[in-house]
Amino acid sequence: MVDRFFPTTDGIYNHLSLRVPGMPRHFLIKPHALLYREVKASNLVRVDMDADLDERAGVNRPGFILHSGVLRARPDVECVVHMHTQPGIAMSAHGAGLRMISQAAIRFYKRIGHHPFEGVTEKAEERERLAAALGENHALFLRNHGIVIVGASVREAFERTRDLMTACETQLMLEAATDNIIEVPDDICASTVRQLELHDRGRGKADWPAWRRLMDEVAPGYAD
């Protein structure tokens, strides 16, 4: 589904999860063996976030560990996105982190956590460390691995994902081109991120029906 919009996928890997309405300790995730273009509503797998699952349950073990850890720790989060895009991986290993050099980056001003690389995310005890690294932030850089974005809705997670990818790509392109980079001052960042969050709670919601119409056009059958 989502790979039609931007390159989120890594074959059958990378994951999105959504908390099940009315069942806060369960979430939906794609079947392990399917490409995203094969995923639709009826073949999503519902899992218990307090379980200890692997591919025998039909889901990817590292994906289950990561998403269950986040959703267990953050009851305010409904949707979690994890990706291995090249810009995301590059920025996850960037020693200076995300710089405030674009409006897209400012959405994450003081709202990004960092988690050190521990190998493949398959140990249940890593859930607590992942959750602690994310804290109350909107996104998490998994060092040398990729990114995690969270939202209180699918729309919020989707828009934050688009902005984070734009911010990563913009920074990497600019740093490759010049060292004469203008950064936005802290006071402007602080006021702008509040503007963006107010926008998201108001007129910004108007874009979601438009994205849904595009989805209906390019990926018919996804809601089946």
Q: Are strands 139-142 and 112-115 parallel, antiparallel or unpaired?
A: parallel
Amino acid at 84: H
> Domain-by-domain residue ranges, the chain?
2-218
Amino acid at 174: L
Q: Which residues fall within 8 angstroms of residue 158, CB to CB, at 6 or more apart?
A: 79, 81, 151, 211
Query: How far, rounded to the nearest angstrom, does the alpha carbon of residue 156 sit from its chain's CA centroid?
Result: 10
Q: CA gyration radius for the chain? A: 17
> What is the CATH T-level fold of the domain 2-218, as seen in this structure?
L-fuculose-1-phosphate Aldolase (3.40.225)
Under a CB-based contact definition with an 8 Å cutoff, are residues 144 and 92 in contact?
yes
Task: Write out pLDDT tens, residues 88-108.
Answer: 999 999 999 999 999 999 999
DSSP 8-state class, residue 100: S
Is the C-alpha dihedral spanning 119, 125, 127, 132 positive or negative?
negative
pTM over 0.85: yes
Task: Write out pLDDT tens, residues 37-92.
Answer: 899 999 999 999 999 999 999 999 999 999 999 999 999 999 999 999 999 999 99
